[in-house]
């Protein structure tokens, strides 16, 4: 949940994410190295969003293939998850199927989309934020947060892996409203008092 909310990746991209596509920046060599080799004792991390849990394993579009630097909260969550997964692997023993997946079942196999939705629904119900939420809401929330913070539409489109801004506008028009209305709010603030004075 933390990774999806803070990076905007699609659910099928998260399910296909491999540990060798979670990378750490190595200042000594000025290069990215998989955390499976470099570990988590570094300051900067990123993920290669190069695959998706789709037919053929490709991302939705060519533009969807992207590299995203991780916010600290996401890197920390992955570090904790890696530790928990190591314990799961040890517990499973010979039953573990090593696909090198970041997110998998208790025996290492790929996650089923329906199971992900059910698990997500349980989390939202336990958090008392309603039963109608689906994992895709995390991606929508990411777009809303970026938009509300004034991130340009072109950058948001790149972050979420859209081929262009028109797709972002069409799919996330409600989430983008804070930026679209920002100009009107600013003008109301600047000219509001003088316009009221004139009308009086």
Considering its fold, how many domains does the chain have in total? 2
124/139 same-domain check: no
pLDDT at residue 165, rounded to an integer: 76
Residue 107 has pLDDT above 90, yes or no: yes
As a whole number of angstroms, the distance between CA 26 and CA 9 comes to 24
What pTM did the predictor assign? 0.78
Mean pLDDT, residues 45-58 taken together: 72
Last residue of a domain, one of 130, 157, 173: 130
Strands 31-34 and 22-26: antiparallel
pLDDT at residue 200, rounded to an integer: 47
Residue 48 has pLDDT above 90, yes or no: yes
Candidates 137, 126, 14, 115; CA nearest to 64 is 14
Structure tokens at 9: 């990746």
pLDDT at residue 97, rounded to an integer: 96
Predicted confidence (pLDDT) per residue in 68-80, tens digit: 999 999 999 999 9
Longest dimension (CA), the chain: 81
64/122 same-domain check: yes
pLDDT band at 197 (very low <50, low <70, confident <90, very high): very low
As a whole number of angstroms, the distance between CA 156 and CA 176 comes to 10
Determine the structural domain holding residue 185 and report its residue range. Answer: 135-200
93/178 same-domain check: no
pLDDT band at 43 (very low <50, low <70, confident <90, very high): very high
- Please give the positions annotated as active site: 10, 60, 139, 162, 172
pLDDT at residue 193, rounded to an integer: 55
Mean pLDDT, residues 124-149 taken together: 86
26/70 same-domain check: yes
Last residue of a domain, one of 78, 101, 130: 130
As a whole number of angstroms, the distance between CA 65 and CA 52 comes to 10
Last residue of a domain, one of 77, 108, 130: 130
83/103 same-domain check: yes
């Amino acid at each position: 949940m933390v990774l999806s909310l803070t990076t905007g990746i699609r659910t099928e991209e998260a399910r296909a994410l491999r540990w060798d596509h979670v990378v750490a920046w190595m200042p000594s060599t000025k290069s990215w190295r998989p955390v499976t080799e470099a570990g988590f004792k570094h300051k900067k991390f990123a993920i290669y969003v190069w695959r998706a849990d789709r037919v053929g394993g490709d991302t939705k579009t060519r533009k969807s293939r992207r590299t995203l630097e991780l916010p600290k909260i996401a890197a920390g969550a992955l570090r904790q998850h890696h530790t928990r997964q190591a314990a799961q692997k040890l517990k499973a023993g010979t039953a573990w199927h090593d696909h090198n997946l970041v997110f998998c079942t208790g025996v290492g196999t790929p996650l089923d989309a329906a199971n992900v939705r059910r698990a997500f629904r349980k989390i939202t119900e336990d958090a008392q934020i309603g039963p109608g939420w689906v994992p895709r809401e995390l991606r929508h929330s990411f777009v809303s947060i970026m938009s509300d913070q004034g991130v340009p539409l072109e950058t948001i489109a790149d972050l979420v892996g859209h081929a262009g801004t028109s797709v972002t506008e069409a799919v996330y028009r409600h989430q983008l409203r804070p930026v679209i209305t920002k100009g009107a709010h600013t003008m109301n603030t600047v000219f509001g008092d003088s316009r009221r004075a004139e009308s009086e």
